[in-house]
Amino acid sequence: MTDSSNGSTSALQSTTNARTVETFLFALQDEDFDTADSLMADHIAWQNVGFPTIRGRERITKLFRSGQGRMRFEVKVHRVAAEGDTVLTERTDVLEFGPVRIQFWVCGVFELHAGRITLWRDYFDTLNFLKATVRGLLAVPFPALRPTL
* pLDDT of 8: 64
Give CATH for domain 4-145: 3.10.450.50
Residue 95, Cα to own-chain centre: how many angstroms?
12
Query: For 126, phi and psi rounded to 5 degrees?
Result: -65, -40
- Would you kindly state where each structural domain of the chain is located, as residue ranges? 4-145
pLDDT digits (tens, 9 = 90+) for 31-89: 999 999 999 999 999 999 999 999 999 999 999 999 999 999 999 999 999 999 999 99
Q: How confident is the model at residue 1 (pLDDT cuts 50, 70, 90)?
A: very low
Q: How confident is the model at residue 10 (pLDDT cuts 50, 70, 90)?
A: confident
Known catalytic residues are 93, 122
Cβ neighbour number for residue 89 with a 10 Å cutoff: 22
* pLDDT of 6: 57
Alpha-carbon Rg for the chain in angstroms? 17
DSSP state of 19: H
pLDDT digits (tens, 9 = 90+) for 95-129: 999 999 999 999 999 999 999 999 999 999 999 99
What are the CA-CA distances from residue 111 to residues 125, 143, 146 (Å)?
A: 22, 39, 34
Q: Looking at the predicted structure, is the pLDDT value of residue 11 above 90?
A: no
